[in-house]
Structure 1
Amino acid sequence: MMMDPKSDRPLAHWSLPAVTRINPGQLPATYTPNGSEPDETVEIDDPLMIEGIERVQRAIAVHRAVPGRLRGVVTVLAVMAMLGALILWLPDAMIRHAARIAPPAQSRTIGLAVLAELEKSAGAVCRRSSGQQVLDWITPTLIGDDALVQVVPAPLNGARRLPGDVYVLGNDLLTTTPGPEASAGHLIAARLAVEDKQTTLDALQYAGLMNALRLMTLGTLSRNAMQGYGEALLADTPPRPDLATLPPAFAERGLSTEPYARSIDPTGAAVLPLIEADPIRQGTEPVSLLTDEQWLALQQICAG
């Protein structure tokens, strides 16, 4: 507040944040409220007053907003958020992309690598030629021309679908059922339960980002990429398809759903809808899958 020292009448009111000293380091100190175009000035030679003004202005300057500071903070936060999103999203996206573009030959390579791991827990694949010939003959009718079905000695609680349209059966399904219908049903169910691309994706997610990148660039996986995956698969319950999808699929092949259902629950209580919807009961003409000689050869696939 500028006042007339004689009458104490107010002459002007200046805002301290707007006041500028136009002769720094000189005395008397000259101040103006208008910056570069001073039309009003005041000269002060009292050191205490000068120091007081300077102290107030320094305190104000500390709290004055710095142009661009908020924008810089927002930019840094945005960049950090993007990097965090990339770190979390990119590996999974790359693995999904690798699974999506993998050609059938690469998927089959992955499936055989998984099968090799399964053999460590379920026993070596049964390779008696007469039994495998029967499998190779019936497979196109059941699940497709490009499918490969293998049998291992240990029980698998059903059939497992692996990448590359590879299927694995436990020998118990062949030795404890009166005919091939139950095993055939498990193969059909395994095909309906999960898509081949999903099995490839599951395997690559286990193998990790580096193996997915290697597959895309070199076309192969590292030797230990699937190590432990077979044991992890066996620890999980095999996926089952929606029961409503099974009767139509069985009807297309002239098969009864009851042998498959009874192999899951001998009492039939848990699979009663599947038994009641049996296509053969609904009038579908049954088809004989194998001759007695073929069935016997298939049952002995693990006999040596």
Structure 2
Amino acid sequence: MTALQEYERLEAVGLWRPSPDAQRREVIVSIGDATVMIADGNGQMLTHWSLAAVTRANKGKRPAIYHPDTDTGETLELAEDEADMIDALEKVLAAIERRRPHPGRLRVVASISLATTVAFLALFWLPGALMRHTVRVLPDVKRSEIGQALLADLVHTSGQPCRSAASLKALDALSQRLLGAPGRIVVLPGGVEQTAHLPGGLIVLNRALIEDWEAPEIPAGFVIAEALRADRNDPVADLLDDAGLWASLRLLTTGSLPPEALRRHAENLLTAAPVPVPQDALIDAFAAAQVPTTGYAYAVDVTGETTLPLIEADPMAGKSAPPVLTDSNWVRLQGLCEN
């Protein structure tokens, strides 16, 4: 290590003692390349110390006393009037100290970094990772149980699902036609504004969607759109996102959710705006179901301005589409909420 160049020609008079029982003698002290050089009055070199090994014995006091860090018996004393040399040595030794490795400080920095990383993972990565894992491993039976529990909470606000005995077969026919299985569409007399989806593959409709329109293609369109939202946004993931980390952990370890978490999510379902879905994906879903998009597009926007792509790209335009429901089943379905 090289001493600071501004001190390379600096000299001072000091008192040097080679051992504890030796007499102190006056010497000339200078700073060289990485060393403190000690010479007699004739310039004869007596000894030199490595700057990296110089230690001050009485830091902050004058006269300043130095010694090699491996030999406290050999000392060099600089009087108070040799302030330039003392300041020079202190500056050089401080620069050397800064360049040395500091294991303790490194451990502190490493500990802080580790703690920061753990805190970051706990706050930002762990909740999302736990939720994704829970969603991935949750069995279908448990999904259905959660869906039924949420439906029970919705019923407290909306009233009992519409289940006129004469119309249930028509509802099952609609569910079979659009979702591939009966019993997956639930019509409520109130609560949800239009539609919602629940774990277990349930699609919830407001009764107005089957009572206020003249063709089954329109409620069918709302069912298709909501099923597409469920495919793109897992309802269990939405629930756990509302419920938080501890609810996810409880579901993963015990298979149950806190009742208040279910109730809070049910309330959110009643007020949440429908999540937009890309219109090209919507057109593909209607095409797969062989349902025209035009009626649904005008039901969403009576002017057709915001749903023009659905009208212009109607996959059933000019084609003979299979009926969503027979006329008799459509009439029966519209009476679903009658006593």
Q: For structure 1, which segment, 170-179 or 153-162, has the greater mean C-alpha deviation from structure 2 after superposition?
A: 153-162
Aligned with 1:179 (options 209, 212, 215): 215
Paired position in structure 2 for 1:208: 244
| 1:208-240 deviations in Å (ceiling 9; x for gaps) | 222222222222223332112222122221123
- Inter-partner Cα distance in structure 1 for 2:307 and 2:56: 90
Change (3 A) 1:37 1:166: same
Give the unaligned 5+ runs of structure 1: 22-29, 47-52
- Inter-partner Cα distance in structure 2 for 1:189 and 1:69: 61
**Does the CA-based 8 Å contact 1:95-1:204 persist in structure 2?**
yes
Amino acid in structure 2 at the alignment position of 1:194: A
Aligned with 2:111 (options 72, 76, 89): 76
**Does the CA-based 8 Å contact 1:125-1:151 persist in structure 2?**
yes
| 1:101-149 deviations in Å (ceiling 9; x for gaps) | 1111111222222222322333332222332322122212202337611
Paired position in structure 2 for 1:249: 285
- Inter-partner Cα distance in structure 1 for 2:243 and 2:76: 79
Paired position in structure 2 for 1:270: 306
Query: 1:200 Cα shift?
Result: 0.9
Paired position in structure 1 for 2:329: 294
Greater C-alpha Rg: 2
Q: For structure 1, which segment, 293-302 or 113-122, has the greater mean C-alpha deviation from structure 2 after superposition?
A: 113-122
As a proportion of its length, which structure holds more strand? Answer: 2
Amino acid in structure 1 at the alignment position of 2:245: L
Structure 2 residue matching 1:93: 3-state secondary structure: helix
- Inter-partner Cα distance in structure 2 for 1:120 and 1:168: 14
| 1:264-290 deviations in Å (ceiling 9; x for gaps) | 112222212211222332x22122222
Query: 1:166 Cα shift?
Result: 0.8
- Inter-partner Cα distance in structure 1 for 2:106 and 2:337: 72
Change (3 A) 1:156 1:268: farther
Give the unaligned 5+ runs of structure 2: 1-13, 17-25, 29-39, 58-64, 80-85
| 1:186-212 deviations in Å (ceiling 9; x for gaps) | 111111223276211010121222222
Query: 1:82 Cα shift?
Result: 2.5
Structure 1 residue matching 2:197: 3-state secondary structure: strand
**Does the CA-based 8 Å contact 1:165-1:196 persist in structure 2?**
no
- Inter-partner Cα distance in structure 1 for 2:232 and 2:277: 14
Which residues in structure 2 correspond to 1:207-226 (within 5 Å)? Answer: 207-226=243-262
